[in-house]
Amino acid sequence: MAEPTETATEEQSVVVTDLLAPASIVLGTTASDWEAAVRLVGGLLVAAGAAAPEYVDRMIEREHSVSTFVGEGVAIPHGTLAGKDLIVKDALSFVQFPEGVDWHGDRVVICIGIAAGGNGHVPILAQLAELLMDEERAAALRNASSIDEVIELMTPDPETD
Amino acid sequence: MPSIESTDVKKLVIACDAGMGSSVMLASNVKKQLKGTSVIVEHTPVDHIPADADVVMCHAGLAERARKTRPDMVIVPFRLFMGDPAVTKVINAIKNGGTIDG
């Protein structure tokens, strides 16, 4: 990964906002069903210039074949392999549904949209995986009340790979 | 169904459709749990499973596709991206010894 530098933590850590722009984070909203939720997170990726509008259809397709629910009230919608050429740049979006959205029988409060052609987003997903193993921090993410709080929770710890 | 002795496992691959989301998260968890062992953990799209993988874990909904791509490999299907017993079983076998069945 990044070369060690004298200004250690700042230089080595991933800048979350490069991938997850504050404008792509929406808190405290609602969606009538999972499809509406995917259209919302997908629309944010399109608005960020990260993917063509058709990418959102690939995200819905993917959700029909295998749910992207990962546990702890979190789903990570993304396109299919066939939809990869619709991606312009790597980006993430984040939407919080405090009332929850029915996700093929699971309840989803946090939806993280992914458009990724490369591996730039891997450290952030690794951080998410770690965060969700910790019940307290998973709850903090579900209950986050500010964009800064979301960004802070999603920032990879510099000491882990 | 193929099976493998855990001591013969050098590379473990977690596959999903696009290799950009759920497999990335699971691979990161598995990597952490296998820290200290010599097993290499990778994530790939299910249609691009590398030939040198010894064990493949993928979502149950993709297992058939994985078996089509790699009929001779040990394919372990799972349903939960966190805390799935099938995944735990593979990790425990690698750490403590045992046979992994496809």
Task: Residue A88: count other Cβ atoms within 10 Å of its Cβ.
Answer: 16
Asked whether the predicted pLDDT for residue A6 surpasses 80, the reply is no
Instruction: State the Cα torsion A112-A115-A117-A118 to the nearest 10°.
Output: -30
Contacts of A114 in chain B (CB under 8 A): 20-21
Range A70-87 average pLDDT: 92
What spatial distance separates the first Cα and last Cα of chain B, rounded to whole Å?
A: 6
Q: Are A22 and A44 in contact (CB under 8 A)?
A: no
Continuous H helices in chain B: 22-33, 63-69, 85-96
Residues spanned by the domain of B64: 3-93
Q: Given pLDDT bands bounded at 50, 70 and 90, which one contains residue A118? A: confident
pLDDT of the residue at A12: 47
pLDDT of the residue at A13: 61
| Domain spans, chain A | 18-154
Asked whether the predicted pLDDT for residue A85 surpasses 80, the reply is yes
pLDDT of the residue at A136: 94
Question: Which pLDDT tens digit goes with each residue over A134-146?
Answer: 899 999 999 999 9
B16, B57, B63, B91: the catalytic one is: B16
CA–CA distance, B74 with B29 (Å, rounded to integer) = 20
Q: Does residue B101 sit within a domain?
A: no
Continuous H helices in chain A: 8-12, 16-19, 34-47, 55-65, 122-133, 135-142, 147-154
Q: Which residue has the higher pLDDT, A3 or B98?
A: B98
Q: Does residue B66 sit within a domain?
A: yes
Question: Which pLDDT tens digit goes with each residue over A100-117?
Answer: 999 999 999 999 999 998
Q: Does residue B73 sit within a domain?
A: yes
pLDDT of the residue at A4: 43
Q: Does residue B100 sit within a domain?
A: no
Range A3-13 average pLDDT: 43
Q: Does residue B89 sit within a domain?
A: yes
Q: Which residue has the higher pLDDT, B26 or B19?
A: B26
Q: Indicate the SS3 state at residue B74.
A: strand
Asked whether the predicted pLDDT for residue A8 surpasses 90, the reply is no
Pair of tokens at residue A126? 């690794």
Contacts of B24 in chain A (CB under 8 A): 121-122, 125-126
Asked whether the predicted pLDDT for residue B67 surpasses 70, the reply is yes
CA–CA distance, A105 with A33 (Å, rounded to integer) = 11
CA–CA min distance A161, chain B (Å):
9
Q: Chain-wide mean pLDDT for chain B?
A: 91
Positions of A annotated as catalytic residues are 78
Q: Do B25 and A122 touch (CB under 8 A)?
A: no
Q: Given pLDDT bands bounded at 50, 70 and 90, which one contains residue A11? A: very low
**What values do phi and psi take at A36, rounded to 5?**
-65, -35
- Classify domain A18-154 by CATH number: 3.40.930.10
Q: Are B100 and B74 in contact (CB under 8 A)?
A: yes
Would the ipTM clear 0.85, i.e. be above it?
Answer: no
Range A19-35 average pLDDT: 97
Number of domains composing chain B: 1
CA–CA distance, A104 with A21 (Å, rounded to integer) = 29
Asked whether the predicted pLDDT for residue A128 surpasses 70, the reply is yes
Between the alpha carbon of residue B81 and those of residues A17, A72, B29, the distances in Å are: 25, 10, 9
CATH number at residue B30: 3.40.50.2300
